[in-house]
Amino acid sequence: MSTTVITLGTGSPIPHPDRAGPATVVSSGDAHVLFDCGRGVVMRLAGAGLGPAQLSAVWLTHLHSDHICDLGDVITTRWITTFAPTPLDIVGPVGTAAHVSAVIASLGPDIGYRIAHHDDLNDPPSVRVHEVGPGPVNAGVPPGWSITAAATDHRPVTPTLGFRVDTGSGVVAICGDTVPCDGLHDICADANTMVITAIRDDVIRSIGLPRLDDICGYHCSVDAAADTAAAAGVATLVITHHVPAPGPGDAEALTERIRTRFVGDVVIANDLDRIEI
């Protein structure tokens, strides 16, 4: 049985017409695990031939708004498109439970309307929240898979996690937003595929806006991502969450730049790209 990584959304907080917010699916057989829920995630799931009803679980790397802003859409759409009790497992760092409670509370009027309207809807959306820290995780893991969480470094955002996902047919490192750190190296070691936020810090710094300069301090640069992948022995490096979004010819130039530091396969991801393992 093979493993597929789908980069549902490859954008950033800066809106882009062709890039949804950060979200990645790892699939193997009938199991589909969603990592992060950026803007437009349900539409991109549809573009991948999936929907919230097919998800085995949702995992969150951290609670920055661009990674969680459409969690409510995932919860609601799953609820109204399933016809038997199907609790959604949501796994994330400390703080996830409070966030999910707030999301459910914000949906209160809509939940009431739908229960009043549909005789076969008697209960609100069912979710099971699991707050986790570094180490092996059991909740929200499909049968035959193993997932290990590691602390990453996205300070001042804390806690943040990356995940080493072993489906039995491939190992995927879901890195999220981080700078190089021990936890990042641990989840990437000998992985088939490494999916990481990597920004073009040289372009960002050339703009000269302090608020943009700030983001360089807590994301991997493209060069740092390449060096990490090389040191960890990764087979395929997937660059996502682009800042700025690549323009014409940029993907080719970035690939050549990365190949001076990393000898494996390189994917400058677009929305709905599929990486097969």
Catalytic residue ranges: 66
Place of tokens 């005789």: 119
The tokens for 52 are 């919230």
The tokens for 156 are 């001042």
Residue-level length of the chain: 277
Per DSSP, the residues of 76-107 read HHHHHT-SS--PEEEEESTTHHHHHHHHHHHT
The tokens for 118 are 């549909």
Sheet holding 23-28, edge to edge: 127-131, 88-92, 57-59, 31-35, 23-28, 4-9, 273-276
Kindly give the residue spans of alpha helices, DSSP state H, lying in the chain: 41-47, 65-68, 71-80, 96-106, 108-117, 182-188, 201-207, 210-215, 222-232, 250-259
> What's the CA gap between 60 and 19, in Å, rounded?
19
- CA-nearest of 145, 237, 141, 135 to 191 is 237
CA distances from 183 to 162, 198, 256 (A): 8, 16, 27
